[in-house]
Amino acid sequence: MNIEAITLREIRMPLVHFFETSFGRTTERRILLVTVHTDGAEGWGECVAGEGPFYNEESTETAWYAISEFLAPAILGHRLERPSDCVPRFARVREHRMAKATLEAALWHAFAVEKGQPLWRLLGGTRTRIECGVSIGIQDSVEQLLDKIAVEVAAGYRRIKVKVKPGWDLNVLERIRSRWPDILLSCDANSAYTLDQAEHLRKFDQFRLLMIEQPLWNDDIFYHARLQAQLQTSLCLDESIHHARDAATAADLGACRIINIKQGRVGGLTEALRIHDVCRERRLPNWCGGMLESGVGRALNIALSTLENFRLPGDVSASKRYWMEDIVDPAVEVTPDGQILVPDSPGLGYKVRSDLIEKLTVRKETFKAGSTNY
């Protein structure tokens, strides 16, 4: 495919309900979308960076910078045989993984459209339905959280994950477990603890959690292994895993028993597939994380989740949990038994609503082949 033009834009989308983690509260998303125009198709990619550098070092603004100044120019005017061919072209830029992943996602979408195939098949997926879990943020009160869990359990979701932090953990888990002794339950600390608190974290064992996600430092693997050795509950790494080598390190050290794969965090689908293969070879189950995506990113997560080693319910849930109106048609829906039926139409399987996107756009820039190349 010849990369003829790339449009970068920012849209704003208010969340139906705020989302709070140990690193802060989000009420409105500032989402970057790219459109890659090839000679045969158009592909869309969503950037999963947050509004500020709180989950990781990237943000909406740094992704805009990396894409417009370096990454778009690295592929514009070039002919790529496959979407993965962008990876070596981007390699000169250190980090900026979410920015890279945005363009790679758009290339995969365009590639699938050109081939007239559903993206999930091109990725090597085998599932026709995926299992859904939900991630529920920190609320203003425990009662409010229990009400939210009740809604999601009734909606059929197969795994409930709650956000925890010091002061919002044992008390909360205790209340959840006494009301729902048998649900598949996990928690995510987004790096809110240190190894000094191992004793405290050992108390989580009594709640029979499926996993504790990223309890320690965002850049740590080694001390998670120390912690894992002291816990019955499985640890899952999210923030610490940037590439396949990190996944192998974590497996070799025994730093976790489960891995959360987010294509954005790891620099794109090619690296996500490599991590998937590392996990499969080492018999670590992995699952698909979420980053409060709009329908474009959500559709991509669905496609990725069809791969064999996505063995646990992901944070891939219905559009209506986040958005009054999603930018794909149909909106992503979950069956009463907590599954998403994977669409079989070419590309993402959901139509991108470009008219609505245009209305939500607050800035936009188009880059054409022949512009500055570094």
Rounded to a whole number of angstroms, the minimum distance from the CB of residue 117 to ligand OSB is 26
Which range in 138-146, 200-208, 283-291, 344-352 contacts ligand OSB by CB under 6 A?
A: 283-291
Q: Which of residues 160 and 342 has its CB atom nearest to Mg ion in the complex?
A: 160
Contact positions with ligand OSB (CB under 6 A) in 119-138: 135
Rounded to a whole number of angstroms, the minimum distance from the CB of residue 289 to Mg ion is 6
Q: Which of residues 72 and 340 has its CB atom nearest to ligand OSB in the complex?
A: 340
d(CA 11, CA 281): 39
Q: Is residue 270 within the footprint of ligand OSB (CB under 6 A)? A: no
Determine whether 161 is an active site residue. no
d(CA 221, CA 295): 32
Q: Is residue 188 within the footprint of Mg ion (CB under 5 A)? A: yes
* Window 326-365: contact mask with ligand OSB (x via CB under 6 A): ----------------------------------------
With beta carbons less than 8 A apart as the criterion, state whether 225 and 248 touch: no
Q: Which of residues 38 and 317 has its CB atom nearest to ligand OSB in the complex?
A: 317
d(CA 305, CA 313): 9
Q: Which does 60 bind (CB under 5 to 8 A by kind): ligand OSB, Mg ion, none?
A: none
**Annotated catalytic residue, options 100, 148, 163, 165:** 163
CA-nearest of 353, 258, 269 to 97 is: 269
Q: Is residue 315 within the footprint of Mg ion (CB under 5 A)? A: no
Residue 285: Cβ within 10 Å count: 16
- Strand 42-46 vs strand 129-131: parallel, antiparallel, or unpaired? unpaired
Q: Is residue 238 within the footprint of Mg ion (CB under 5 A)? A: yes
Rounded to a whole number of angstroms, the minimum distance from the CB of residue 187 to ligand OSB is 11
Question: Which residues does residue 213 pair with via DSSP β-bridges, in sequence order?
Answer: 188, 236
Site size with ligand OSB, rule: CB under 6 A: 12
Q: Which of residues 10 and 152 has its CB atom nearest to ligand OSB in the complex?
A: 152
- Strand 286-288 vs strand 24-38: parallel, antiparallel, or unpaired? unpaired
Rounded to a whole number of angstroms, the minimum distance from the CB of residue 214 to Mg ion is 5
- CB contact burial 120-140 (16+ within 10 A = b; e otherwise): bbbbebebeebbbbbbbbbbe
* Window 9-38: contact mask with ligand OSB (x via CB under 6 A): ------------x-----------------
**Annotated catalytic residue, options 148, 161, 165, 262:** 262
Q: Is residue 152 within the footprint of ligand OSB (CB under 6 A)? A: no
Rounded to a whole number of angstroms, the minimum distance from the CB of residue 20 to ligand OSB is 10
- Which residues are near Mg ion by CB under 5 A? 188, 213, 238
- Which residues are near ligand OSB by CB under 6 A? 21, 55, 135, 188, 190, 238, 289-292, 315, 317
